[in-house]
A = this chain, B = another copy of it.
Amino acid sequence: MSPVCHEDRALDLGDDHFHDACGVFAVWGHPDAARLTALGLHALQHRGQESAGIVSIEATRPLTAHAHRAMGLVQDAFTAATLAGLRGDVALGHVRYSTTGESHLRNAQPLLAAHQGQPLACAHNGNLTNTDALKRGLDAQGAVFQSSTDTEVFLHLAARARGDSALDRVIEALGACRGAWSVAFLAGRQLIAARDPHGLRPLCLGTLGRAHVVASEPVAFDLIGARYVRDLDPGEVLVIDADGARAYAPFEPVAPRFCVFEHVYFARPDSTLGGQSVYDARRAMGRALGREAPADADLVIGVPDSGVAAALGYAEASSLAFEVGLLRSRFVNRTFIEPVDAQRQFGVRMKLSPVAAALRGRRVVVVDDSIVRGTTARKLVAMLRDAGAREVHLRVASPPTRWPCFYGIDTPDRDELVAAHRAPAEVNALVGADSLGYLSLEGLRGAVNGQRGGFCDACFTGEYPVPFVPVGALTARTQHGLAPPVTRR
């Protein structure tokens, strides 16, 4: 619907995964705010590699906002010189893999605007489900959209809200939004961070000396030596300013529904989300898979990086040897050239190399975290056979992905999901393994039971916790006034 800008999309290198949309990082009250933000974003680089951006606020009168956004990786986007220009002790950063809006610099976040002479910046991980309705309403009021992200909707809603304080206006804006939002705003010198009532996407709080830090995953704290404090609660709105950090719970509570795919694939294995270690969860998925879908084989290998922990668990549960049968190239972050007569598995081989010594003449169980379209799995199986594996048994450490995600994950159309309309045996007929086994939904749920609250598993079940809002049916459910600050640990 919206006017879009042209740009070639890089071909995936045999990377048949759902893709996370974004990572958010913010620092309040540290003289080195922008550099710390760049490092925090670097630690969150796995959540988005298309663009990176930082907005900082310098305490001049009036306030000065500095911004730098660029296509590409954090370490290419931010040089020492760029960071020197991002003065101020408050900074907000974002890495992006586009879900809504095209891959274009003008869609890179954080978005930065001015409202009533104050800077207003926003960085968002997630996806709204009532964007069209909201945009239609805003259009009717004369809003102009300069990006094709739904993140820009937050800015327009906040600017139009009636509240007296920035916090009131942000809460009113968020109250009109449906879907998934782990979001951070800079409103003047205030940092306001919030999670949607279902808590679909992660967001957590930490401290670095007297400074506060906010990040999508706690691994971003480790790199800069910050201390993890806690995850934000679903529905929480957290304000950080010169008076410290104050938590609010302005939205009607609903059942928590954390994205289970963060544990399956998106998050880094060294992260802990909702009190649950991702590495432990993946190992447990592997163990359950070993029990549910055993194989008569000689050894177990994992597809690096995300399938390795599950492969270890599978090996443990099935008492098979674990081997490093596949190597991931350290030097490929994007597509490169292709030879004129490329061999069949060229795309996969650019990223993964088989270790023939570990495979030759053996019956191999290969564990991957998920299968999306199935095209990579087919090439992978063929590559393992070419490297000498006698048998290849493919095991998937999650249930069949049958439904697209509408909450901030880049998934293909339903018809492209190989398991959408196929039984596992039919999938395996396409993939060509000696056998194929998936983890059951129960097995998955058991593996993540260390986490408080419920999960969103709509990509497996089609049970979407937040319905799409038909255009026109939107009833503004904005907040008039704040609930009192919540006392937290």
- List residues of A whose CB falls within 8 A of some B CB: 1-7, 31-32, 35-36, 38-39, 42, 45-46, 49, 62-67, 73-75, 78-80, 83, 85-87, 106, 111-120, 139, 141-146, 148, 155-156, 158-161, 219, 222-225, 268-270, 272, 277-280, 305, 308-309, 312, 316, 321-324, 327-328, 330-334, 336-337, 339-343, 346, 349-350, 353-358
Contacts and interface: CB of A to CB of B under 8 A. Distances in A.
A146 B356 contact: no
Contact of A6 (B1, B87, B115, B309): B87
Contacts of A114: 2-3, 144-146, 148
Contacts of A156: 142, 144
A160 B141 contact: yes
A269 B3 contact: no
Contacts of A219: 353
B118 A3 contact: yes
Given A142-B159, A159-B142, A327-B270, A66 B5 contact: yes
A390 to B, nearest CB: 17
Given A42-B331, A224-B339, A332-B75, A1 B117 contact: yes
7 contacts: A2-B114, A38-B337, A42-B331, A115-B144, A142-B143, A223-B346, A225-B342
A322 B323 CA distance: 10
A196 to B, nearest CB: 22
B280 A308 contact: no
B7 A113 contact: no
Given A279-B358, A337-B39, A64 B6 contact: yes
A100 to B, nearest CB: 13
B112 A336 contact: no
A309 B322 CA distance: 11
B32 A341 contact: yes
Contacts of A356: 270, 272, 277
Contact of A78 (B120, B337, B355): B337
Q: Which of A67, A118, A331 has the most CB of B within 10 A?
A: A331
Closest 4 CB pairs of A and B: A142-B160, A225-B343, A277-B357, A3-B65
A145 B113 contact: yes
A324 B308 contact: yes
A39 B322 CA distance: 30
A312 B322 contact: yes
A309 B330 contact: no
Nearest to A186: B3
A38, A145, A333, A357 — which one has the most chain B CB atoms within 10 A of its CB? A357
Q: Of residues A80, A279, A305, A334, which shows the largest number of chain B Cβ atoms within 10 Å of its Cβ?
A: A279
B358 A35 contact: no
A324 B315 CA distance: 13
Given A3-B62, A5-B67, A42 B357 contact: no
A110 to B, nearest CB: 11
